[in-house]
């Protein structure tokens, strides 16, 4: 490929600290936007995978009910079942339940200040010493975080991913707050709890045919 064509790609790599960006798979959604309360998870009856994909939304308000150890173990296991480059599994997780620590999250990321009223949060991290392929670890951790979000939703919890990487001040803020070693990169904080508003919601229509290219960039579906 000619250098000129690569210029935007090089610019993209230059502005990302590890030369990679979060990539999330967009599933083919089947449900129309609106409530699907009849499908809500109940204790012991998790959602099936596609329903979980179709109805996962960010939840930022929670009841006072604590998140049980069992539920935390479920979402932490799901996070660690994610695919990773060369199966490097470069992730670490810091579970935060101390209200005093949760109250300080807003000082680091004002867009995550609602963590002060959440029963729990999980900082999803990259351990650069576990990363075999430089730059891929961020992608691995992003996939792990999506697994965590979907598992939380699947068992009836509400969760939201709040961004840390690549904002240096947020990365440093969490490293300091949680006394983390230098090889650990905080990537995102998943805030979670039992949703204050029960029921399931679907997203506005995000499935756009124009986002999909067939066989080559200009190709249409045959
Ligand atoms: C990389 C990333 C960073 C995000 N950071 C924040 C954040 O700081 N605060 C927040 O409330 N939500 C944050 N979100 C959640 C998005 O706002 C949310 O996913 C988006 O609006 C789509 O809504 P949905 O999750 O309900 O489908 C973030 C999501 C991603 C993927």
Assigned domain for 98 exists: yes
**Binning pLDDT at 50, 70 and 90, where does residue 38 land?**
low
Taking the CA atoms of residue 125, residue 105, residue 67 and residue 155 in that order, the dihedral angle to the nearest 10 degrees is: -60
Separation of alpha carbons 188 and 78, rounded Å? 16
In this predicted model, what pLDDT tens digit does every residue of 141-164 receive, in sequence order?
999 999 999 999 999 999 999 999
Q: How far is the CA of 2 from the centre of ligand 1 (A)?
A: 36
CATH assignment at residue 99: 3.40.109.10
The answer to whether 108 and 167 have CB atoms below 8 angstroms apart is no
| pLDDT score, position 23 | 30
The answer to whether 122 and 192 have CB atoms below 8 angstroms apart is yes
Q: How far is the CA of 45 from the centre of ligand 1 (A)?
A: 26
Separation of alpha carbons 141 and 104, rounded Å? 23
Rounded to 5°, the CA angle 78-80-86 comes to 135
Among the residue ranges 30-39, 77-86, 103-112, 153-162, the one predicted with the least confidence is 30-39
Separation of alpha carbons 186 and 165, rounded Å? 6
Number of domains, the chain: 1
Assigned domain for 18 exists: no
DSSP string spanning 27-56?
Answer: ----SPSSB-GGG--BTTBPPPHHHHHHH-
Separation of alpha carbons 23 and 122, rounded Å? 20
Q: Taking the chain, what is the end-to-end CA distance rounded to the nearest angstrom?
A: 28
Q: Which domain holds residue 127?
A: 25-204
Binding pocket residue ranges, ligand 1, CB within 6 Å:
22, 57-58, 60, 109, 111-112, 160-163, 203
Assigned domain for 35 exists: yes
In this predicted model, what pLDDT tens digit does every residue of 46-60 receive, in sequence order?
899 999 999 999 999
Q: How far is the CA of 111 from the centre of ligand 1 (A)?
A: 9
Two tokens at 53?
């994909």
| Ligand 1 atom 1: residue of nearest CA | 163
152, 160, 191, 205: residue to mutate for ligand 1 pocket, most atoms within 8 A of CB: 160
Q: How far is the CA of 52 from the centre of ligand 1 (A)?
A: 17
pLDDT at 177 over 50: yes
Percent of the chain with pLDDT over 70: 84
In this predicted model, what pLDDT tens digit does every residue of 183-210 receive, in sequence order?
999 999 999 999 999 888 888 899 999 9
Assigned domain for 129 exists: yes
Order of strands across the sheet with 184-193? 91-96, 120-127, 184-193, 158-163
């Amino acid at each position: 490929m000619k250098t000129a064509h690569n210029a935007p790609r090089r610019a993209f790599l230059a502005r990302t600290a590890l030369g990679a960006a979060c990539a999330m798979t967009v599933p083919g959604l089947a449900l129309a936007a609106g409530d699907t309360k009849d499908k809500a998870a109940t204790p012991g009856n998790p959602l099936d995978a596609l329903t979980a994909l179709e109805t996962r939304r960010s939840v930022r308000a929670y009841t006072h009910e604590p998140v049980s150890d069992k539920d935390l173990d479920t979402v932490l296991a799901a996070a660690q079942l994610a695919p990773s480059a060369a199966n490097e599994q470069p992730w670490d997780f810091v579970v935060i339940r101390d209200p005093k620590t949760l109250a300080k999250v807003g000082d680091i990321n004002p867009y995550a200040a609602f963590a002060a009223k959440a029963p729990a949060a999980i900082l999803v991290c990259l351990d650069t010493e576990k990363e075999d392929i430089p730059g891929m670890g961020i992608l691995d951790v992003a996939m792990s975080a999506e697994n965590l979000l979907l598992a939380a939703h699947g068992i009836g919890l509400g969760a939201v991913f709040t961004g840390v990487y690549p904002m240096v001040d947020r990365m440093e803020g969490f490293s300091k707050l949680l006394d983390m070693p230098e090889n650990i990169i905080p990537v995102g904080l998943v805030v979670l709890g039992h949703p204050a508003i029960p029921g399931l919601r679907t997203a506005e229509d995000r499935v756009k045919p124009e986002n999909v290219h067939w066989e080559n960039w200009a190709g249409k579906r045959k």
